[in-house]
Amino acid sequence: MAAYATLIPLFPLLAALLIGGLHFCRIIDGEAGEKTTARLALTAISLSVLTALSLLIADLSGQLPDSVSYGTWLRSGSLIIDYKLTTGGFSLALASLFSLLLLVAIRFSVNYMHRETGFHRFFFVLNLFAAAMLLLVLSGNAVFTFIAWEIAGVCSYWLIAYAYYRPIAAHNATRVFVTNRIGDGGFILAIGLALAWLENADWQTINLSAADLEPGDATLLALSFAVAAFAKSAQIPFTPWLARAMEGPTPSSAIFYGGAMIHAGVFLIIQLEPLFMQAPLAMSLLTVIGALTAIYSYWVGLSQTDIKSSQIFATSAQLGLMFVECGLGFWTLAAWHLCAHAVVRCYLLLTAPSILHNTHGQAIRPVAPALANCRWAFIASLQRGWLEPAMDWLLVKPVLRLAKDVRYIDEHIVDPALGAPAPAIKAVSSLAQWEEQKMGANLNSQEDSFAQGSGLAGKLAQWTAALLNWFEYHFILRGIGRDSIRLGRRLGQAANRFEQLLLQPRYLALFVLITLMVALGYR
């Protein structure tokens, strides 16, 4: 029965592919196709809920193993990565809870998104996210967790930029996406360290082998996972991205940043409890970062006057408390806190429009008197502690300046030193013209004297040589002779565009992270 666990993320994935394919082929489109899209989405997530609850009941009665393997995904020497799912414990319980919340959010979205231009696009992304999130909590190893982690991040980007024609939506989506990639660097580093030191990326192996690692190695591995968790769950200094993510539609905001995805970082920490227990420094960091995030979010939330901002800073404050609980060793409390908060926050964000309607006209004092009477604290709270500008000044601007310096060196030192390849192009062009004239004369003759042979073998060699000679003339020499300048110009422009792309700050930062990973991998 445990083998059916793979159906939990598979059902919404198939629904996403069906909705996307049918909409791409214009089989379902506009308001007329909304019922088909809604039925596909609701049927798929309902099947996932039934499967998850059935497996949860079987697990509670002791009829399921802890995990099930579906085969080997990668084998290289002693390194083996299996496609394995966890079929018991906290992972299966959380998958059941998330599938229920996804069902509620999708049903709510059917009416909320009615007659929207991007109705089918929205449900395609939402079902893809459901598959990614369910795979994330059920995956038995870090590699497939990371794959689901990335798919969920891409879906978040798409739904924040749902109204992509609005510059602010596209800008906020990009900021959120880039910020989360910093955490992905920590996740990739952690996977690399696990594969280098343990030759395995299974969560069970990492936890069981944590006691055998050197204290420094265990601390480094735990800190790498902690960075990924901090970014995903919007802990300091990554907290500002959460407010920017509210640009998407209300149902996606509720399930992404209230019910499911925002808790992925806390889930990752809880899943690695044995590893963090071997790393006291990492535990201390969880406590400090969580406490700072809770205090910061509470302070900034006091001055928020719109419902979504208030809810989102309340979310980050609760997440900070979960990290504090993990850092102090209250793992069971953190798990229960996660589940309860997911339900409550998803409900509050889904009902945010109704709350505004029900409280319309009532006297509301959104700012605490103590904060209102302290002018400098009130202003700093309104500016959200200037945390985002500070991070730009500390991280983004130095990378931009570095990119500018590298480009200046490349344009004013490297390129002049290498010189332009114009003489070589002219030489190739002249050679091609000479070959063209020579080959033209040969083609005008009735018999090609390029090669002569007798007998069967000789004739075969002669025909082969003639065929190759013809191919060289028509496709190589003639092409170089006539189009070399145009082709060279196009290749040069493409190379310049590629070079400018690589000089973007995000790619430079990625290269730095890769360099650190390689250096630590050879350690």
Contact 222, 275 (CB under 8 A): yes
How far is 480 from 160, CA to CA, in rounded Å? Answer: 48
pLDDT of residue 92: 92
Helix (H, G, I), strand (E, B) or coil at 64: coil
Contact 215, 278 (CB under 8 A): yes
Contact 41, 19 (CB under 8 A): yes
Polymer length of the chain: 523
R_g (Cα) of the chain, nearest Å: 30
How far is 98 from 258, CA to CA, in rounded Å? Answer: 11
Q: pTM for the whole thing?
A: 0.75
Compute the half-sphere exposure of residue 76: CA atoms within 13 Å on the CB side of its CA: 6
Secondary structure element (H or E) that encloses residue 63, with its range: none
pLDDT of residue 491: 64
- Going by C-alpha positions, the residue among 46, 16, 33 that lies closest to residue 132 is 16
pLDDT of residue 230: 94
pLDDT of residue 446: 41
pLDDT along the chain (523 residues), means of 10: 88 94 90 91 95 92 85 80 87 93 93 88 94 93 92 91 86 87 90 88 89 89 94 90 86 87 93 92 94 91 80 91 94 94 90 71 60 71 74 72 75 65 45 51 46 58 72 56 56 67 61 61 50
Distances (CA, A) of 333 to 275, 324, 338: 18, 11, 9
pLDDT of residue 442: 52
Helix (H, G, I), strand (E, B) or coil at 68: strand
pLDDT of residue 447: 43
Distances (CA, A) of 436 to 258, 429, 452, 481: 70, 10, 22, 8
Helix (H, G, I), strand (E, B) or coil at 75: strand
Q: DSSP state, 520? A: H
Sign for the CA dihedral angle at 175, 100, 102, 70 comes to: positive
Contact 102, 133 (CB under 8 A): yes
Which alpha helices (DSSP H) does 199-263 contain, by range? 203-209, 215-232, 240-244, 250-254
Task: Output phi, psi for 76, to 5 deg.
Answer: -145, 100
How far is 387 from 316, CA to CA, in rounded Å? Answer: 14
Reading the block at residue 443, the tokens are 């083609």
Q: DSSP state, 76? A: E
Q: Which amino acid is at 393?
A: W
Contact 325, 336 (CB under 8 A): no
